[in-house]
Structure 1
Amino acid sequence: MHHGSPVVHGELREVKRAFGKQNVVIHADFDLEFLRAFPGVVRFKKTALGAELQIDRMEAAQKILDEINGKGFIRKFALEEPSLNDIFIEKVGASYE
């Protein structure tokens, strides 16, 4: 709901699937900053353990994994569904932030 109007409709699984973006969490022992400009990455957040990315298509996840493979030790590489917060902010826009 935003200003009394529904932002999205449907069951949670359907809403997340329809969003069309996925999150990639990477924990690595090397700098991941170069992924900020990687094709398919629409959001990049550096973290203490590595980075959290949002990608616009599933194929980007495999290309990212191929790119970082061999650059150093990768502790975690996980593809995750977008959070409800991610979806809400995208649908409502910057006025929420």
Structure 2
Amino acid sequence: METCLCPLTRSFRPDFVLIRQHAFGMAENEDFRHLVIGMQYAGLPSVNSLESIYNFCDKPWVFAQMVTIFKTLGGEKFPLIEQTYYPNHREMVGGRLGL
């Protein structure tokens, strides 16, 4: 009898997913954006929208969306702590772009 040394491939098709953590982190091997893109590509339903999960991979993008809400509702209804955006590390030392 022959022994097959082929890797075993298993697959499954979930009905829907619930994502409970960030898809992208700063530590090594914490980039799962490809999985979110794959689920979106497959049309897999999700409890929380895959678009929102993907958007949360970029924190300045999220803050920019909150600034839009702040400008619409005002500081009384939507208080927001002021932050400064730096497009790169050189701007942190020399320039400042306040939001």
Point out which structure has higher relative CO (alpha carbons under 8 A, 6+ apart).
1
Larger radius of gyration: 2
TM-score, with normalisation over the residues of structure 1? 0.24
Structure having the larger proportion of residues in strand: 1
